[in-house]
Structure 1
Amino acid sequence: MSGEYFPEVVQALVGPDQTVYAYFSDGRITRVDMKPLISAGGVFSCLASDDFFSGAITVLNGTVAWDVSGVFDPTQCIDLDPFTVYAAERVSDPLESVA
């Protein structure tokens, strides 16, 4: 299995309408629509709060995460599988269109 890429998120940004942009170490950028996970409830239900969704987003464990504890403890976060995030819709850099 050597030579296979293991997806590693290096930056995560909140997008419009409960979406997230993930920047990977290989240059790929994807957009993840979080609405289905949020509406399913469970651990993701706290992401329905716009303040928490945008204020707690970070990168922990090499993937998109939300810092639940406020101290960036990688065991106290809500995170997404990096392979799932990597397989999401590939997009161009949304920051390039900001003037």
Structure 2
Amino acid sequence: MFPKVVQVIPMQDYSVYVYFEDGKIVNYDMSQMIEKGAFCCLKEIEIFLDRCTVMNDTLAWDISGNWDDTTCLDIDPDTLYALPHVQEAIA
């Protein structure tokens, strides 16, 4: 099975709620990743929040703003799916 992300909701604390096609929900903490390499541009909270999206069936950031899935920053969906299931905490 290939896990397919269908929705993402970024939060102010640099975490993202990730919703999978099968109903699983995980919370991915990006606070450590934004200190590394290409992900440093996500330190700017406006970019982190505004460019967070689903591309290539996974969590991604459309850095260019052109919806070019070849230039986005993304997280392997298998890595995300391996996280523990969480309850939706969005109010």
TM-score norm. by structure 2 comes to: 0.93
**Aligned residue number for residue 21 of structure 1:** 17
Unaligned runs of 5+ in 1: none
Moved over 6 A (4+): none
Structure with max Cα Rg: 1
Is the contact between residue 12 and residue 49 of structure 2 (CA under 8 Å) also seen in structure 1? no
RMSD of aligned Cα (Å): 1.1
Q: Which residue type is aligned with residue 8 of structure 2?
A: A
SS of structure 2 residue aligned to 1:22 = strand
Q: Work out the CA distance in 2 between the residues paired with 1:38 and 1:70.
A: 19
Q: Are 1:48 and 2:43 counterparts? A: yes
Give the percent of matched residue pairs that are identical in Structure 1 and Structure 2.
44
Report the structure, 1 or 2, having the larger helix content: 1
Which among 29, 34, 37 is matched to residue 33 of structure 1? 29
TM-score norm. by structure 1 comes to: 0.86
Unaligned runs of 5+ in 2: none
Size of the alignment, in residue pairs? 91
Q: Work out the CA distance in 2 between the residues paired with 1:90 and 1:30.
A: 5
SS of structure 1 residue aligned to 2:39 = helix
Q: Are 1:73 and 2:68 counterparts? A: yes
